[in-house]
A and B are shown apart, each in its own frame.
Chain A
């Protein structure tokens, strides 16, 4: 999960294993969630998104699970590869009452894949 401060959570896995990265959110009004991947020195790259009326969505090698009861989001990566090594962070959108759906970003989890 996410944490406060300079020390990001880390996850180390072996190549070929499945990875699960977690994100806790606090805003019950959030209705849209996104997972991003960020490699060192680069901009975040969209991976997958999910709306609050769903609890699971699958992409290519990735699955996002949403548990609104406990405000928890997870990203599952199947058959993790060295190229998956990066910082992964979630973002949530508050539908609110304004015209702007502000995204709030988590601090990220460092995924390291060992060959």
Chain B
């Protein structure tokens, strides 16, 4: 898990609620990412940020929002517009996005919609 922390580890949400997942890194990495992992599937990119105050949509951004106000933090909000939010959410960071820089992952947050 290195220097990337995610909280909470488990999160339960009622339908119609927005919830925010926390991701913090102390690796001084410029780039941060949010992925969603469903059983038997590869990781799918939700949003990424190359630098503070900048972020871009990934492949499945609908129903999610992010902010990048600090280099260390990249919170993800799962909104009520996300139709199937139950999944394992993974945050990652890398030194930069250009070049062959490895992405390092946090421990994940498992979100369950009740």
> Which A residues lie at the B interface, using CB under 8 A?
5-8, 31-32, 34, 36, 41-46, 49, 51, 89, 91, 93, 99-108
B69-110 contact mask (Cβ, 8 Å, vs A): 1 or 0: 000000000000000000000100000011111111111101
Main secondary structure of the interface of B (DSSP, over half): loop
Please determine whether A32 and B100 come into contact, CB atoms closer than 8 angstroms. Answer: yes
Please determine whether A101 and B99 come into contact, CB atoms closer than 8 angstroms. Answer: yes
> Which B residues lie at the A interface, using CB under 8 A?
1, 4, 6, 39-43, 45, 48, 50, 56, 90, 97-108, 110
Please determine whether A107 and B97 come into contact, CB atoms closer than 8 angstroms. Answer: no
Top 9 A-B pairs ranked by shortest CB distance?
A6-B40, A43-B105, A105-B42, A32-B100, A105-B43, A100-B97, A44-B105, A43-B107, A107-B42
A73 to chain B, nearest CB (A): 14
B62 to chain A, nearest CB (A): 18
Name the residue of chain A whose CB is nearest to the CB of B100: A32
The answer to whether A46 and B102 touch (CB under 8 A), given A41-B108, A99-B50, is yes
> Known contacts A51-B100, A100-B50; can you find 14 more A-B pairs with CB under 8 A?
A6-B39, A6-B41, A41-B110, A43-B6, A43-B106, A43-B107, A44-B43, A91-B103, A99-B97, A100-B97, A101-B99, A103-B45, A103-B103, A106-B42
* Chain A neighbourhood of B101, CB < 8 A: 101
* Chain A neighbourhood of B90, CB < 8 A: 43-44
Please determine whether A93 and B100 come into contact, CB atoms closer than 8 angstroms. Answer: yes
The answer to whether A104 and B42 touch (CB under 8 A), given A41-B108, A43-B90, A99-B50, is yes
B104 to chain A, nearest CB (A): 6
Please determine whether A8 and B40 come into contact, CB atoms closer than 8 angstroms. Answer: yes
What is the CA–CA distance of A108 and B88 in the complex, to the nearest angstrom?
Answer: 15
* Chain B neighbourhood of A99, CB < 8 A: 50, 97-98
What is the CA–CA distance of A43 and B4 in the complex, to the nearest angstrom?
Answer: 10
What is the CA–CA distance of A44 and B2 in the complex, to the nearest angstrom?
Answer: 11
What is the CA–CA distance of A105 and B50 in the complex, to the nearest angstrom?
Answer: 19
Please determine whether B42 and A101 come into contact, CB atoms closer than 8 angstroms. Answer: no
Please determine whether A42 and B40 come into contact, CB atoms closer than 8 angstroms. Answer: no
What is the CA–CA distance of A108 and B38 in the complex, to the nearest angstrom?
Answer: 12
